[in-house]
């Protein structure tokens, strides 16, 4: 229950408390008279988009702040992929709405996927926000802010077939200055029956590869040592030069970015099994600085359920792709996504997912129970008939198994030595550094004088949990 007349101090304290466990994107404080505050939820694409938003607002004289008392604009970059994410955003908006009552002139805006899906509800029915801006309309933000300041309805959720923001240099909001996201494409054409992304982010379109390479080179010159190439389905990246007809696929783009500098690590996410080609795998094997890690969502281990999900592959196809990865990139770690309790899933089909997990030996997994999303093919055509308690029980079985597999996966690394990129201080102690190896495993190790974030070191592993490796620096 919220206070009827909360103080500004209590509201800001409540915001800090409710942030626990949520994804909070913080910006570097810049010298300016006008400030905005932004929180991002959901996928890495949302984090990347928030940096585009920051760049657009910076051109208008705004700077990011972590101090709510300074902010004239508050934005939430939203996710619609699961019901829980939407519930979290609604809670945040109700808190921010009370903050607005204490500070006349404060504007609150919703960005991203929920903006497109729930535009009318946010603006007219619940009246929680002043601006609603979809993922293809961030260039329009200055005009929309002015409209909102004048008390007008400020909304743009138009989905574009061309917008890639290729000419906008993102304002980096990651405080480490070591790792950065580069969006290489937008939208999705896959139409998985459970997924709302094609309706909230539009059709696939790929960015000019030379702008991607230029952005990676600029980041390296600024001291960044790792980039992650982002897309809803990076493997379907395809760009054709309208003048020469030259074509660039994802494997070629991956090589172009890797060739920026041998000390620039390259990661990518997310891959779709149907588009994970041997050419991509061979490119990964060729370049030492392309990380040996693939996120390859399986969703289910049962072919009938995969067909209902419209994933366009079956269990046998997925297994063949895993075998190809093991053959071409033997030291590659593979993570995945799993949905429990999809429409009509039986206990036997659930056990097929468990058996797939054991066989594939995933290093890590993002695991959820099925949440019906309005507007999707599954919501229109399939019955959400697996009881919630069954979904939750199956999810717990999946989580327990993955913890067991991850622990064994990590224990197998004890005694090995890995090249690690130092990202910053460990969460638990400023006496330790943290960083990841090529396989995307987090490693914690004691500091040594003269080393700093962005440096590479070789770390020998002494201990392992299901989530983290611990070791010591063998050599710089």
The answer to whether position 429 is within a domain reads: yes
- Counting the structural domains of the chain, the total is 4
304 and 350 in a single domain? The answer is yes
Structure tokens that stand for 377 in this block: 């093919």
Per-residue pLDDT at 118: 73
255 in the same domain as 216: yes
CATH of the domain at 366: 3.30.750.200
Question: 16 and 110 in one domain?
Answer: yes
The answer to whether residue 451 is domain-embedded is yes
Instruction: Report residue 65 as tokens.
Output: 């702040």
Contacts 24+ apart (CB under 8 A), 55-62: 55/168, 55/169, 55/170, 55/171, 56/138, 56/139, 56/141, 56/142, 56/168, 57/141, 57/142, 58/30, 58/171, 59/142, 60/141, 60/142, 60/145, 61/32, 61/33, 61/34, 62/32, 62/34, 62/35, 62/36
Q: Last residue of a domain, which of 267, 291, 315?
A: 291
Check whether residue 133 and residue 38 sit in a common domain: yes
What per-residue confidence (pLDDT) applies to 92?
A: 87
- Residue 171 counted as domain residue: no
**In the listed set 378, 393, 412, which residue is the last one of a domain according to the structure?**
412
Residue 260 lies in a domain: yes
Whether residue 131 is found in the same domain as residue 196: no
Has residue 463 been placed in a domain? yes
φ and ψ of 360, to 5 deg: -75, -25
Residues 18 and 133 reside in one and the same domain: yes
Q: Are residues 460 and 421 in the same domain?
A: yes
Q: Is the dihedral of CA 26, 31, 35, 36 positive or negative?
A: negative
Length of the chain: 476
CATH code, 206:
3.30.750.210
Query: Does 392 fall in a domain?
Result: yes
Write down the pTM of the prediction.
0.86
Q: Is the dihedral of CA 53, 54, 55, 60 positive or negative?
A: positive
Is the domain of 184 the same as that of 284?
A: yes
pLDDT tens, residue by residue, 28-74: 444 447 999 998 887 888 888 899 999 999 999 999 988 888 899 99
Q: What is the model's pLDDT at position 175?
A: 66
pLDDT in the model for residue 124: 66
The predicted structure's pLDDT at residue 217: 97
Same domain, 398 and 459: no
How far is Cα 97 from Cα 280, in angstroms, rounded to an integer? Answer: 47
- In this structure, are 147 and 263 located in the same domain? no
* 22 plus 123 within the same structural domain: yes
Consecutive H or E run containing 78? strand 73-78
Residue 425 structural domain? 417-475
The two tokens of residue 184 are 């290489």
Domain boundary, last residue among 291, 306, 330: 291
d(CA 244, CA 341): 49
User: Is the same domain home to 435 and 401?
Assistant: no
Any domain includes 166? no
- pLDDT of 23 reads 35
* CATH label of the domain that carries residue 444: 2.40.50.140
| Positions in the chain short of pLDDT 70 | 1-32, 81, 116, 123-126, 175, 476
Q: Compute the distance between CA of residue 445 and CA of residue 450 in angstroms, rounded to an integer.
A: 15
Is residue 163 one of the residues assigned to a domain? no
Distance, CA of 105 to CA of 174 (rounded, Å)? 28
Residue 69 belongs to a domain with what CATH number?
A: 3.40.50.2300
């Amino acid at each position: 229950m919220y206070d009827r007349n909360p103080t500004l101090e209590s509201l800001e304290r409540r915001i800090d408390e409710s942030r626990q466990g949520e994804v909070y994107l913080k910006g570097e404080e810049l010298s300016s008279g006008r400030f905005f505050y932004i929180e991002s939820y959901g996928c890495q694409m949302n984090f990347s988009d928030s940096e585009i938003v920051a760049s657009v607002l910076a051109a208008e004289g705004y700077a990011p702040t972590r101090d709510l008392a300074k902010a004239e604009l508050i934005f939430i970059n939203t996710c619609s992929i699961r019901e829980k994410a939407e519930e979290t955003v609604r809670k945040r908006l109700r808190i921010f709405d009370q903050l607005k009552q204490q500070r006349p002139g404060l504007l609150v805006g919703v960005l991203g996927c929920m903006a497109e899906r729930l535009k009318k509800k946010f603006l007219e029915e619940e009246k929680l926000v002043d601006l609603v801006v979809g993922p293809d309309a961030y260039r329009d933000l200055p005009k929309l802010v002015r409209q909102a300041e004048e008390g007008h309805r400020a909304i743009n959720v138009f989905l574009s077939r061309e917008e890639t923001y290729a000419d906008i240099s993102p304002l980096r909001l990651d405080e480490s200055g070591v790792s950065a996201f580069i969006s290489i494409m937008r939208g999705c054409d896959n139409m998985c029956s459970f997924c709302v992304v094609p309706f909230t982010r539009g059709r696939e379109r790929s960015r000019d590869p030379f702008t991607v390479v230029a952005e990676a080179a600029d980041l390296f010159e600024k001291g960044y040592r790792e980039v992650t190439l982002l897309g809803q389905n990076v493997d379907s990246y395809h760009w054709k030069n309208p003048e020469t007809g030259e074509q660039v696929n994802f494997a070629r783009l991956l090589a172009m970015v890797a060739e920026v500098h041998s000390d620039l690590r390259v990661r990518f996410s997310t891959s779709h099994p149907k588009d994970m080609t041997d050419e991509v795998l061979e490119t990964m094997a060729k370049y030492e600085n392309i990380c040996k890690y693939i996120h390859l969502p399986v969703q289910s281990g049962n072919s009938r359920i995969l067909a209902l999900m419209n994933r366009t592959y079956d269990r046998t196809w997925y297994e063949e792709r895993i075998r190809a990865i093991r053959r071409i990139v033997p030291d590659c770690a593979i993570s995945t996504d799993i949905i429990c309790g999809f429409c009509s899933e039986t206990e036997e089909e659930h056990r097929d997912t468990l058996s797939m997990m054991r066989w594939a030996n995933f290093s890590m997994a993002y695991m959820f129970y099925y949440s019906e999303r309005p507007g999707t093919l599954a919501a229109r055509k399939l019955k959400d008939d697996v009881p919630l308690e069954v979904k939750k029980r199956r999810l717990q079985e999946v989580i327990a198994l993955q913890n067991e597999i991850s622990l064994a996966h990590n224990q197998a690394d004890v005694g090995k030595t890995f090249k690690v990129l130092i990202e910053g201080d460990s969460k638990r102690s400023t006496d330790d550094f943290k960083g990841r190896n090529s396989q995307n495993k987090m490693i914690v190790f004691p500091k040594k004088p003269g080393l700093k974030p962005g440096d590479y070191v070789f770390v020998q592993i002494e201990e392992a949990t299901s989530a983290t490796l611990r070791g010591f620096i063998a050599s710089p």
